[in-house]
Amino acid sequence: GECSAFKERFMECLRRSGYESAACRQSAKAYLECRMDRQLMANEPLEKLGFKDLINEKSEEKPEK
């Protein structure tokens, strides 16, 4: 549950957007970064995950657990 706040933010975005994932890319990026930072998934370059255009944008503020 270390990244559950990021997951919930992403899922809420999907619900609000009618499950249009393109509208929630920033939330998806933040969720994946959380998982990689905590070694819950293998580290992958964000470019490889499809976020090349968002790399210079700061991720959403990381909430405390």
pTM for the model: 0.80
Residue 27 covered by a domain: yes
Q: What is the pLDDT of residue 64?
A: 47
Residue 28 covered by a domain: yes
Asked if 33 contacts 45 with a C-beta cutoff of 8 angstroms, the reply is: no
Residue 10 covered by a domain: yes
**Sign (positive/negative) of CA torsion 23, 53, 5, 43?**
positive
Into how many domains does the chain fold? Answer: 1
Q: What is the pLDDT of residue 65?
A: 45
Domain of 53 in residue numbering reads as 3-57
Alpha helices in 1-65 (DSSP H): 4-16, 25-37
Residue 63 covered by a domain: no
Residue 9 covered by a domain: yes
pLDDT in tens, 27-63: 999 999 999 999 999 999 999 999 999 887 554 445 5
Residue 4, CB-side half-sphere exposure with 13 Å CA sphere: 3
